[in-house]
Amino acid sequence: MKVLANDGLATTGVIGLEKAGFEVILQTVAQEQLVTYINDNKISALLVRSATKVRKDIIDNCPSLKIIGRGGVGMDNIDVEYAREKGIKVINTPAASSHSVAELVFAHLFGMVRFLHDSNQNMPLEGDSKFKELKKAYAKGVELKGKTLGILGFGRIGQATAKIGLGVGMKIIAFDPFIEKANLKLDFFDGQSLSFDIDTISKEEVLKQADFISLHVPAQQDYVIGTKEFEIIKKGAGIVNAARGGVIDEKALILALEQGKVSNAALDVFENEPSPEISLLMNPNISLTPHIGAATQEAQDRIGEELAAQIIDILA
């Protein structure tokens, strides 16, 4: 049986599948050519990340397809329910990339509060001629320790983010419409561990209380943070979106930054990927990355292993 990993697959996954007798194809097939390629090569399992879309045209016209796999958490690029109605198994790896995304959130947070994203651009250009001016410009940083981190969406990734926050010394508050309480266990290098019980509160209270807000929600019809939310958000708060493009109203975010309602922001995902708005890319108060939340070697190894194990369990 053949597996097409159209957006790539870590070596760990390839080895696992090949040992089980599967042929793994790592070729990237253009979206408009997928149906023909799957049928010509009798592909049993199609593995994607965020680039490839698996819609009804593929589901309806590829009778050999038994599994659609998403390397990661969100599956908004797959018509999941429709595929399952047609008898196709849809799988993903919800836990594999949680810590990687959480670490990226804090990479942005640490950079934001010390202006690293801006300093790293200006020091190479003017560090030799305007050192004192730049030192003064970046001398108003703050510490994360003792601040309140508000998390919108308290599933696996939200909880992984909370654990890092607790380790840094932050107060954690969270909102999730489906979770009332979570027990977070922090494991340390010497075998010790500590547990924390976090009771979720209302979204409005998170917005009012949090010094920094991190979003960990799936794609949805309406903005999670838009004009209404920016009106009640704590003045000067920072915000990070490493979840999905479209959960923050980007125009409202720019306005909130200009008005000082939000002091800084970080975006790993965008409404118009892969062509983010220039107003976001050029804003000195926004820290930017190109959708790399799960892009660590460790996460990709875990994703490969989990996908391989699920495919073998279903088909072998």
**pLDDT tens by residue, 242-283:** 999 999 999 999 999 999 999 999 999 999 999 999 999 999
pLDDT mean across residues, the chain: 97
Q: Which tokens sit at 68?
A: 């659609």
> Strand pairing partners for 272?
none
Please give the single-letter amino acid code of residue 88: I
DSSP code, position 43: E
Domain co-membership, 27 together with 79: yes
pLDDT band at 74 (very low <50, low <70, confident <90, very high): confident
User: Quick check: is 244 catalytic?
Assistant: yes
Domain co-membership, 73 together with 43: yes
**Total domain count, the chain:** 2
- 101-151 tens-digit pLDDT: 999 999 999 999 999 999 999 999 999 999 999 999 999 999 999 999 999
Distance CA 73, CA 233 (A): 28
Domain co-membership, 12 together with 43: yes
User: Quick check: is 273 catalytic?
Assistant: yes
Query: Residue 50: is its pLDDT beyond 90?
Result: no
DSSP 84-103: HHTT-EEEE-TTTTHHHHHH
| Annotated catalytic residue, options 55, 114, 205, 273 | 273
Instruction: Please state which of the ranges 12-16, 93-97, 175-179 shows the lowest mean pLDDT.
Output: 93-97
Range of the domain at 160: 98-288
Please give the single-letter amino acid code of residue 253: L
Domain co-membership, 85 together with 222: no
Residue environment code for 116-154, b if the CB has 16+ CB neighbours within 10 A, otherwise e: bbbbeebeeeeeeeeeeebeeeeeeeeebeebbbbbbbb
Q: Which tokens sit at 218?
A: 């799936």
| Annotated catalytic residue, options 49, 108, 156, 291 | 291
User: Quick check: is 117 catalytic?
Assistant: no
| Annotated catalytic residue, options 99, 108, 244, 302 | 244
- State the pLDDT at residue 237: 98
- State the pLDDT at residue 39: 98
CATH classification of the domain holding 28 = 3.40.50.720
Domain co-membership, 309 together with 284: no
Domain co-membership, 117 together with 57: no
Query: Residue 10: is its pLDDT beyond 90?
Result: yes
Quick one: average pLDDT of 228-250? 97
